[in-house]
């Protein structure tokens, strides 16, 4: 029961969701994995080897919905077996991608982006690079990703070049990173794409705080460093 409105609101229903319309808008949040799975269930049961393009066509036909595309760019390198080059085979070297909803979302975010990377420790090694922005409600919005061989100058150059080409196309943006030499090198190699007046490179105060504490071992000054940055 909603107070002062003399009505009730159903907040939870444990049955299946069946109230989708025959036509769904392109940003309809209810077209989730459960709805799509139910829509294509009979197709997969009839042919478990069904192609992804057939699944996409079924969703488009049933809901009049076009799945948003993504910006993808990848680089490959030769394949070697020992010291011998394997002909006609190449392996993945780097890949950059950004989903169209992320690209569209950034148009409505603050003119600031922050990049960082983390190492991958699973079966496949490498490094995941991520860039995020912030909307008007201070929510963090991821806008682009890349899997690269490591935090090298070439890898960051690959990431930042594609980020400029596909996602961050406006000028006057703030660009926040840590003080990694490979990032600074990549910025210098980008022909002004991440330099004033097109962009303004700043260092993350949290990384500066961490570096300061590691060098000077003075926890009582840690908060002061953050306050100075703010």
In this structure, the answer to whether residues 192 and 116 fall within a common structural domain is yes
Q: Is the pTM of this model over 0.85?
A: no
The answer as to whether 210 is a domain residue is yes
How many other β-carbons are positioned within 10 Å of the β-carbon of residue 158?
A: 23
Q: What is the reported pLDDT for 214? A: 85
Q: Two tokens at 110? A: 């603050």
Q: What is the reported pLDDT for 59? A: 81
For residue 8, give the 3-state DSSP assignment.
coil
Q: What is the reported pLDDT for 203? A: 92
Q: What is the reported pLDDT for 148? A: 97
Contact of 195 with 220, CB cutoff 8 Å: no
The answer as to whether 5 is a domain residue is no
Q: What is the reported pLDDT for 28? A: 61
Taking 50 as the pLDDT cut, the residues of the chain under it are none
Q: What is the reported pLDDT for 218? A: 81
Q: What is the reported pLDDT for 201? A: 95
In this structure, the answer to whether residues 95 and 45 fall within a common structural domain is no
The answer as to whether 22 is a domain residue is no
In this structure, the answer to whether residues 84 and 195 fall within a common structural domain is yes
In this structure, the answer to whether residues 46 and 98 fall within a common structural domain is no
Q: What is the reported pLDDT for 56? A: 82
Between helix 52-63 and helix 33-46 the angle, nearest 10°, is 120
Number of domains in the chain: 2
Contact of 160 with 194, CB cutoff 8 Å: yes
Angle at the Cα of 125 (from 53 to 75), degrees rounded to 5?
A: 55
In this structure, the answer to whether residues 58 and 141 fall within a common structural domain is no
The answer as to whether 51 is a domain residue is yes
Distance in angstroms (rounded) separating the CA atoms of residues 63 and 80: 47
Q: What is the reported pLDDT for 164? A: 96
Distance in angstroms (rounded) separating the CA atoms of residues 217 and 56: 56
Range of the domain at 112: 68-228
Choose among 170, 172, 196: nearest CA to 187. 196
The answer as to whether 7 is a domain residue is no
The answer as to whether 16 is a domain residue is no
Which of 51, 67, 83 is where one domain is finished? 67
Between helix 181-189 and helix 153-166 the angle, nearest 10°, is 50
For residue range 146-195, list pLDDT tens digits in order. Answer: 999 999 999 999 999 999 999 999 999 999 999 999 999 999 999 999 99
Half-sphere exposure of 163 (CA within 13 A, CB side): 30
Q: Two tokens at 225? A: 């460093």
The answer as to whether 134 is a domain residue is yes
The answer as to whether 196 is a domain residue is yes
């Amino acid at each position: 029961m909603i107070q002062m409105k003399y009505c009730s609101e159903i907040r939870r229903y444990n049955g299946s969701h069946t109230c989708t319309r025959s036509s769904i808008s392109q940003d309809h949040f209810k077209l989730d994995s459960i709805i799509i799975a139910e829509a294509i269930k009979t197709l997969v049961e009839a042919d478990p080897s069904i192609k992804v393009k057939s699944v996409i066509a079924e969703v488009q036909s049933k809901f009049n919905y076009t799945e948003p595309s993504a910006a993808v760019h990848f680089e490959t390198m030769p394949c070697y077996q020992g010291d011998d080059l394997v002909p006609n085979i190449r392996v993945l070297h780097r890949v950059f991608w950004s989903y169209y909803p992320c690209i569209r979302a950034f148009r409505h975010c603050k003119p600031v982006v922050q990049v960082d990377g983390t190492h991958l420790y699973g079966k496949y090694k490498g490094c995941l690079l991520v860039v995020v922005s912030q909307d008007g409600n201070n929510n963090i919005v991821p806008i682009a990703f890349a899997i690269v061989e490591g935090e090298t100058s070439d890898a960051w150059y690959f990431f930042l070049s594609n980020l400029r080409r596909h996602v961050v196309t406006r000028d006057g943006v703030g660009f926040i990173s840590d003080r990694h030499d490979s990032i600074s090198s990549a910025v210098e190699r980008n022909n002004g794409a991440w330099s004033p007046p097109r962009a303004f490179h700043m260092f993350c105060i949290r990384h500066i705080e961490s570096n300061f504490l590691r060098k000077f071992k003075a926890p009582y000054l840690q908060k002061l460093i953050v306050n100075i940055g703010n």
